[in-house]
């Protein structure tokens, strides 16, 4: 039984000709649909912020990591890839 999810966000941005990449973790997500919802909302917010700054988001992907009573649950975990338009 899956106890919770951890959301791992990977993002690359371009601002003033410089590309930077980073990762962010969000803990204690209750289920897979909530993880997907947070991933979508985070991506939209990141893209909007970069646009306001005059830059762009060049890459965005997430991994919803399922945790059960034994630790990492590979069968319940999933990745989402996004096309940046």
Give backbone dihedrals phi and psi of 34, rounded to 5 degrees, phi first. -65, -40
* pLDDT of 85 above 90: no
- Classify burial at 74, counting beta carbons within 10 Å of its beta carbon; exposed 0-12, middle 13-18, buried 19 or more: exposed
Q: What pLDDT, on the 0 to 100 scale, is given for residue 13? A: 94
Beta-ladder partners of 59: 12
Query: Are the CB atoms for 65 and 33 separated by under 8 Å?
Result: no
* pLDDT of 6 above 90: yes
Query: Are the CB atoms for 26 and 38 separated by under 8 Å?
Result: yes
Lowest mean pLDDT among 7-16, 65-74, 76-85: 76-85
d(CA 53, CA 29): 30
Sorting pLDDT into bands at 50, 70 and 90, what band is 83? confident
Query: Are the CB atoms for 15 and 53 separated by under 8 Å?
Result: yes
Q: pLDDT for 11-66, tens place per residue? A: 999 999 999 999 999 999 999 999 999 999 999 999 999 999 999 999 999 999 99
């Amino acid at each position: 039984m899956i106890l919770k999810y951890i959301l791992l966000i990977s993002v690359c941005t371009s601002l003033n000709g410089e590309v930077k990449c980073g990762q962010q973790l969000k803990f204690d997500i209750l289920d897979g649909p909530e993880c997907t919802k947070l991933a979508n909302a985070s991506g939209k917010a990141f893209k909007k912020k970069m646009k306001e700054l005059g830059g762009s988001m060049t890459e965005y992907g997430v991994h919803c990591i399922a945790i059960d009573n034994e630790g990492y649950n590979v069968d319940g975990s999933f990745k989402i890839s996004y096309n940046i338009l």
